[in-house]
Structure 1
Amino acid sequence: MEAEFGQAVRRWRDRVPPEAAGLPTGRSRRAAGLRREELALLAGISVDYLTRLEQGRAAHPSAQVVTALARALRLSGAERDHLHRLAGLAPPGPQTMPTEVTPSVQRLLDRLAGTPVAVYDAAWTLLVANPPYAALMGDPSGWRAEERNGVWRHFLGPGSRVRLGPEERRGFEAALVGDLRSAAAHYPADPRLGRLLADLRAHSPRFAELWDAGTVGRHAAARKTVDHPHVGPVTLDCDVLTVAGSDLRIMVYTAEPGSPDAERLALLTVLGTQSLRG
Structure 2
Amino acid sequence: MDRARLAAFLRTRRDSLQPEDVGLPRGRRRRAVGLRREEVAALSDVSADYYSRLEQERGPHPSEQILSSIARGLRLSVEERDHLFQLGGYAVPRQGRRSDRVDPGIMRILDRLADTPAQVVSLLGETLGQTGPAVALVGDDSGHTGLARSLHHRWFTDPGTRMIYPEDDHPMHSRLLASHLHATYARDGVGSRAAMIVDALLTASPEFAALWREHPVLGAYCAPKRIVHPALGLLELHCQTLVDPGRSQALQVYTAAPGTESHEKLRQLSVGGDRQG
TM-score normalized by the length of structure 1 = 0.68
Structure 1 residue 165 and structure 2 residue 171: aligned? no
Separation of aligned partners in 1, 2:253 and 2:199: 30
Stretches of structure 1 lacking an aligned partner (at least 5 in a row) = 2-6, 41-46, 48-55
Q: What's the offset of the Cα at 1:18?
A: 6.8
Task: Please tell me the root mean square deviation across aligned C-alpha atoms, in Å.
Answer: 4.2
Q: Considering only CA atoms, is the larger Rg found in Structure 1 or Structure 2?
A: 2
Separation of aligned partners in 2, 1:236 and 1:121: 21
Moved more, 74-83 or 191-200: 74-83
Where does residue 210 of structure 2 map in the other structure? 209
Separation of aligned partners in 2, 1:145 and 1:22: 31
Where does residue 32 of structure 1 map in the other structure? 38
Q: What's the offset of the Cα at 1:268?
A: 1.6
1:131 partner amino acid? G
Where does residue 231 of structure 1 map in the other structure? 232
Separation of aligned partners in 2, 1:198 and 1:71: 33
Structure 1 pair 151–246 and aligned structure 2 pair: CA distance change class (3 A): same
- State the SS of the aligned residue for 2:224: strand
Where does residue 197 of structure 1 map in the other structure? 198
Structure 1 pair 235–67 and aligned structure 2 pair: CA distance change class (3 A): farther
- State the SS of the aligned residue for 1:33: helix
Separation of aligned partners in 2, 1:201 and 1:67: 35
Where does residue 23 of structure 2 map in the other structure? 22
Where does residue 117 of structure 1 map in the other structure? 118
The 8 Å contact of residues 124 and 150 in structure 2, kept in 1 or not, is answered as yes
Query: For each residue in 1:155-188, what CA deviation from the matched residue of structure 2 results, as whole angstroms up to 9, or x when unmatched?
Result: 123315532333x322221111111111111122
Q: What's the offset of the Cα at 1:154?
A: 1.0
Query: For each residue in 1:192-246, what CA deviation from the matched residue of structure 2 results, as whole angstroms up to 9, or x when unmatched?
Result: 3232222222222221221133222324453322222232222211233434542
Separation of aligned partners in 1, 2:84 and 2:120: 22
Moved more, 101-110 or 255-264: 101-110
Query: For each residue in 1:110-130, what CA deviation from the matched residue of structure 2 results, as whole angstroms up to 9, or x when unmatched?
Result: 343332111222222222222
Separation of aligned partners in 2, 1:226 and 1:140: 15
Separation of aligned partners in 2, 1:92 and 1:113: 29
Where does residue 147 of structure 2 map in the other structure? 146
Structure 1 pair 71–181 and aligned structure 2 pair: CA distance change class (3 A): farther
Query: For each residue in 1:4-49, what CA deviation from the matched residue of structure 2 results, as whole angstroms up to 9, or x when unmatched?
Result: xxx99xx79x95877543256889xx9523455x656xxxxxx9xx
Where does residue 264 of structure 1 map in the other structure? 265
Q: What's the offset of the Cα at 1:254?
A: 0.3
Structure 1 pair 87–214 and aligned structure 2 pair: CA distance change class (3 A): farther
Where does residue 91 of structure 1 map in the other structure? 94
- State the SS of the aligned residue for 2:38: coil
- State the SS of the aligned residue for 1:128: strand
The 8 Å contact of residues 225 and 237 in structure 2, kept in 1 or not, is answered as yes
Structure 1 pair 143–22 and aligned structure 2 pair: CA distance change class (3 A): farther
- State the SS of the aligned residue for 1:132: helix
- State the SS of the aligned residue for 1:139: coil
Q: What is the aligned residue count?
A: 249
Separation of aligned partners in 1, 2:206 and 2:91: 37
Separation of aligned partners in 1, 2:68 and 2:185: 20
- State the SS of the aligned residue for 2:120: strand
TM-score normalized by the length of structure 2 = 0.68
Separation of aligned partners in 1, 2:123 and 2:142: 20
The 8 Å contact of residues 131 and 272 in structure 1, kept in 2 or not, is answered as no
Structure 1 pair 103–225 and aligned structure 2 pair: CA distance change class (3 A): same
The 8 Å contact of residues 174 and 216 in structure 1, kept in 2 or not, is answered as no
